[in-house]
């Protein structure tokens, strides 16, 4: 079965940087999209960034210019880096995996808290 392991959440000051990593295991499909979503209390879950091999990354408007996402060639490991963090970036961040030629299967990590505060 597919399992996702997330790491890198925590407390950071405004203007600082943070890296989030996600490693997926049990994937038996080479058509894979991996990404990060976030959800603040009382708000809907929203896409932060996503990427697949041999394709450009997708970045949401609220992180464009201050974030990057990459995927390892060795295994299904995704790294999200966000710079110039703002208090409104505070949320639970979830790793996401979509599988299949029609993206028919979807899996979620358990979530990691990111808090941006002085």
| Number of Cβ within a 10 Å radius of residue 27 | 18
Q: Give per-residue pLDDT as tens, 17-66.
A: 999 999 999 998 789 999 999 999 999 999 999 999 989 999 999 999 99
Spatial contact of 3 and 25, defined as CB atoms under 8 Å apart: yes
Please provide the average confidence, as pLDDT, over all residues in the chain. Answer: 95
Count of CB atoms situated within 10 Å of the CB of 114: 21
- What is the C-alpha separation between 115 and 70, in angstroms, rounded? 22
| Phi and psi torsions of 31, nearest 5° | -105, 95
């Amino acid at each position: 079965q597919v399992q996702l392991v997330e790491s890198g959440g925590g407390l950071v000051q405004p203007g600082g940087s943070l890296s989030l990593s996600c490693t997926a295991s049990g994937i038996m499909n080479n058509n894979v999209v991996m990404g990060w979503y976030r959800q603040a209390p009382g708000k809907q879950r929203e896409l932060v960034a996503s990427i697949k091999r041999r394709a450009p990354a997708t970045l949401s408007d609220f992180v464009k210019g201050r974030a990057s996402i990459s995927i390892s060639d060795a295994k299904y490991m995704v790294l999200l880096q966000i710079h110039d963090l703002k208090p409104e970036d505070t949320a639970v961040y979830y790793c996401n995996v979509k599988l299949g030629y029609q993206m028919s299967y979807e899996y979620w990590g358990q979530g990691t808290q990111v808090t941006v505060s002085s």
